[in-house]
Structure 1
């Protein structure tokens, strides 16, 4: 229960409209008329913002932030300080992707997994060993992985700061494509914060298939509108599902609702998914049984009922005979992908290729999948073949002779 309360505080604080305490209108204009209150000259870095000078415009540490303030961002190998009593020898900090070396007191590149992969890419590129569909990893200002990764001609998907694939995938449309993935990354943070031993699953904000926030969010029976990118609440209007349909909310979009039929009927109304409903029904059974004196330890597990960030069930389903199959967002089987128990294909099944292929159904060229819906380790395109990882990302340079690939096996076409 404590974890649930913690999450609700975390979630509601994330979606409410941000509000800053400000001074009285016109205060600064009057305040700065006094000569002793004149603003000091700011660092020029924010005005230049070129290869040698850059900075951040921030609220000044003056009364009511009346003055401008520029925090210089130092370049690689420039002097810096690490902070602490008596150590403040500079007024700025190292720029994005840099840190202050404790020994040399110079700005140096951060040591991160993303930067390491960038270095590996650059070394292989200099030797002509980079594949046509390989992309240099993009690292953010903290040296972490960008919010998404694209496989050219295929798709783009959300990823964590550590480079692990997350929920959210769209078609690849070009090198300038952007994919914020804020909702998908928020769900990952929830998983890290909420203890897995919590009795009941904790649902986070609802996402759309691209990893953004669904414009409609609900806490309990109250629903409201949010910004799709930031998740912050938009406006003050809300509806009560006990009396109003979700379609009465201005931001409701039926195209983003996978199960619009579930809110039809008489009040009280619903805005939910079959996966959420199954969890709520099981929670109700457990609570009623515990109140009746039954011990529910064996039954009290939701490992096989975890909902995805969009409220749907896992894309890997099970048949009556125990085999695994691939399913879409409405739990409808995809193709004939299947893996039988006690086989290596069963254990490793993730259906990523099956789902990407479904997303690309209107495209002329689609990835080749294994029988269990995973990416085939070797993909071929326009007469050349390449090795790919479990996410479909190219690994190494492509070859015309498939036997020259490091991932080649005699049965590479029959996985």
Structure 2
């Protein structure tokens, strides 16, 4: 039953948004409608490109969407309607990051939302005006609801996926400039996070999630049962075409037009004789342990499954920290290979707080100026380059300005080199 529920969940997610619906209109209806009745003039906001006129082109609220329609966006302090009897009718809405609020004069106006992300932006702006912003600090990005945007970027280093609360989640890629928010949408990573935090805790077995690439986007190949499909890496939607799907009982994923060997971290799983697979060692371990649990239930045993099931990252790997036979932790890449000699021995503080974030960032960076990592792969609290030093947080993001004297930094301590 659990497998059926998982199958239905993934199937609905991947194809629901791709199946459109609408009213079929008679050929020539719009031409006759426009000629006979005409279209009203849309608001000018969508056509005027300046700070006081913005909007969004949408299908018109007319039969068959025959006319153009512009939904105006109202800026700060512009009048708006809260809705309700006698309050007027909105022909637009407050722009992204703003909400309609009642004013003491009795009117309603668009005001900037009071959110954690907006407060972080305000703090940045205040420090910037005082000259207290570091050269590698970046103003927080907020979405249209005032929450943290889907990625956070560090100049010259990387961008990583985050939740609306600014919590870092799976997904990291080299920071290639201004286009990163569009290239790295983190849709798969955010879906994985929602599933594992809202659904997985209440069920006895891991819930199957779409597979992601290392940057948090959807892997171009997704499988439901024995059938694999090519999908849009941003939306996860199925792509049409005979060459965009295969039946694993007959063909491997390498036959698909969207197959990219660079994205296949486990090509050995795609080789051999039919029936083929699109899996990983971590996924296989889950299947094996799940079968043990199912067998124990059938045999009348009450097996403690919560402490025995493996956990896989969204890309199907076992994690970025591996445990050696002697109990030592090491940092590994997406293919499970060690990253340099970063390690931590059991029973040490380095072992307990090891996260390998600096090791992983350095591993994927394209720049020659790499951050300095601690022995366990964490970011060293103080980073230095070209004669100046600055403080960073656990994610490697600069905090505060630079200084030529390390001792003047807020994060300085005498053992700063031996992190």
- Which residue pairs with 2:291 in the alignment? 284
- Which residue pairs with 1:33 in the alignment? 35
| 8 A contact 2:172–2:214 mirrored in 1 | yes
Distance 1:21 1:89, change over 3 A: closer
- Which residue pairs with 1:44 in the alignment? 44
137, 140, 145: which one aligns with 1:137: 140
After TM superposition, the structure 1 = structure 2 runs for residues 340-379 of structure 1, keeping only pairs within 5 Å, are 340-360=345-365, 363-379=367-383
SS state of the match for residue 13, structure 1? helix
After TM superposition, the structure 1 = structure 2 runs for residues 5-404 of structure 1, keeping only pairs within 5 Å, are 5=5, 8-9=8-9, 12-15=12-15, 17-24=18-25, 25-35=27-37, 38-104=38-104, 105-178=108-181, 179-237=184-242, 238-297=245-304, 299-302=305-308, 305-360=310-365, 363-404=367-408
SS state of the match for residue 295, structure 2? helix
| 8 A contact 2:186–2:215 mirrored in 1 | yes
CA distance in 1, matches of 2:85, 2:8: 39
CA distance in 2, matches of 1:3, 1:144: 35
Measured after TM superposition, the shift of residue 122 of structure 1 is 0.4
CA distance in 2, matches of 1:9, 1:332: 33
| 8 A contact 1:386–1:398 mirrored in 2 | yes
Distance 1:346 1:197, change over 3 A: farther
| 8 A contact 2:10–2:210 mirrored in 1 | no
SS state of the match for residue 122, structure 2? helix
* Structure 1: stretches of 5+ with no match in the other structure: none
Measured after TM superposition, the shift of residue 195 of structure 1 is 4.0
Measured after TM superposition, the shift of residue 66 of structure 1 is 1.8
Q: TM-score, normalised by structure 2?
A: 0.92
SS state of the match for residue 400, structure 2? strand
CA distance in 2, matches of 1:406, 1:117: 19
Measured after TM superposition, the shift of residue 347 of structure 1 is 2.2
- Which residue pairs with 2:415 in the alignment? 411
Count of residue pairs the alignment pairs up: 410
Measured after TM superposition, the shift of residue 300 of structure 1 is 4.5
Cα root mean square deviation, aligned: 2.1
Distance 1:11 1:134, change over 3 A: farther
CA distance in 1, matches of 2:279, 2:179: 35
Measured after TM superposition, the shift of residue 173 of structure 1 is 2.6
Larger deviation, residues 225-234 vs 6-15: 6-15
Measured after TM superposition, the shift of residue 85 of structure 1 is 3.4
